[in-house]
Amino acid sequence: MSSGAGGSSEEEDDDDDDEPTNPWEVPDGLLMQVIWISTFPLLVSLWYSVPHCKKEGSRHLYWVTFGMSLVWIAAYAYCMVWWASTLGFAIGIPDAIMGLTVLAAGTSIPDALSSIVVARNGFGDMAVSSSVGSNVFDICFGLPLPWLIKTAMVDPGS
């Protein structure tokens, strides 16, 4: 493992693949095949709708890649909230409780895990700034934007 910013390791090389994962290639191993089956619809939708802008002939499509990434994040977030509220309704949990516990934990745990990985690699400052930065972003952008949309466009003056 590297201890400085300039070092490289085999783990870092795995993250810098030039090609995205081909959804049509079945992986080896039972666990990997179960994961592949469960993520297959997501992989196919991303494979055909988000251009790979690292290719030499597609570098000019970076704005399309960025835009489509935002579209898919919004769609996945909408589905996640919809499914969580439906599940909460089915088992008798109010939407506020589902939002404050299940969805908050589901969005905070990946941040915490990435901070742990970064801290183990010797970048404690990056781990702290990631944790603080994501929470500041949530408070300054994640909370006010839906409120603004609701009060300005959906139900003006409410």
Q: Which residue has the tokens 């835009």?
A: 67
pLDDT at 17: 58
Question: Cα separations (Å) of 121 from 5, 7, 16, 115, 117?
Answer: 10, 11, 17, 10, 6
pLDDT tens-digit map of 74-116? 888 888 888 888 988 999 988 888 877 777 777 778 888 888 8
Give me the mean pLDDT over the 13-37 stretch.
79
Spell out the domain ranges in the chain: 94-158
Tell me: pLDDT of 4 over 50: no
pLDDT at 31: 93
pTM for the model stands at: 0.60
Query: Which structure tokens are listed for 96?
Result: 């506020």
Q: What is the pLDDT of residue 18?
A: 66
